[in-house]
Every structure is written in C-alpha cells, then in structure tokens.
Amino acid sequence: MNRIFLLFLLLSGMVLAHAEYKSSTPAANATVKTMPKTVVINFSIAVETRLSTFKVYPLEAPPEAWGSPARLRRLAGPLVRQVLPLKNDAARRADTGVATTARTSKTVTLALKPGLQPGVYVVMWKNLGVDGHPETDFFVFVYKP
C-alpha cells in the first residue's frame, strides 16, 4: 500500500509540473549598466526548444517608468500579446535567436544583437515543457549605462 501511495505522489507531482520561469541573467526587473551579449532563462523543468518561441523586444517606455517594475510589466503585456505570435519579425527584435542547441533544456540562451540602445527590453516566451504543457510569460530588464 505504501508503494502505491508513493508512486501516486510521484506521478501526480510530475503531472502538475510545468516549465515555469525560475531565474534569468539578467534577472527579471534588473537594471544593467552594460548590455549583456545573451539572455539566459532558467526553467523549473526542461522545455522543447524547437517547439517553443523565445523573443526579446525593445519596449517603448518613458524614462520615468524605468524604475517601476509593476508599471513596466503593465506596459509590456500588450506588446507580448501582439508580437509573440508574429513570424518574420527579426528586424524588430533585439535578439538574433535561440543559441541553445539542445533539443530539450532547462536553460535557454538567446543571443542579443550588438549595439542595442539604452532602454527597456522584454524577454518573452511561449514554451512547451517536456511534460507537454505550454507556458507563456515574460519579464523586463532595463539597460541604463
């Protein structure tokens, strides 16, 4: 009986697991003085990198909003809904694509374009976890030299 209960707990935990945001570099809501060359996102479980979408976009936000993560998140929401499903949007993006080569990974790296201007950037994704569940989310960071 104990083994069956343990198996049930183990399986139910696996079913409830989703590939949720765990951490990143730069961190969510961070202000960086030097623009990084990459954005690294860590998830709670591995994602199917080729069946997921990851993008970085600049966000038009007034400088007085740069210090307010809640305001930036409100401003970024409509942008994420508008551009995440777009195809052929490379010219508008701040990233050059996914640098992670593994088919599945808990860590996804996005290469950023060189010469990006100071401002707010939105890192967004719609991932497919190895558990088969999709997750859509985003975070912002500010580049202020």
- Cβ neighbours of residue 36 under 8 Å, at least 6 residues apart? 25, 26, 112
Residue 1 has pLDDT above 70, yes or no: no
Q: How many CB atoms lie within 10 A of CB 80?
A: 21
Question: Which residue segments constitute the domains of the chain, with CATH numbers given?
Answer: 18-143 (2.60.40.1220)
pLDDT band at 16 (very low <50, low <70, confident <90, very high): low
The more confidently predicted of residues 6 and 132 is: 132
Distance CA 32, CA 36 (A): 8
Dump the DSSP string for 42-77.
Answer: EEEEEEEGGGSEEEEEEE---GGGTT-HHHHHHHHH
pLDDT in tens, 46-96: 999 999 999 999 999 999 999 999 999 999 999 999 999 999 999 999 999
Q: Tokens 């949720």 correspond to what residue? A: 20
Q: How much of the chain exceeds pLDDT 70, in percent?
A: 89
**Taking the CA atoms of the chain, what radius of gyration do you get in angstroms?**
17
pTM here is 0.88
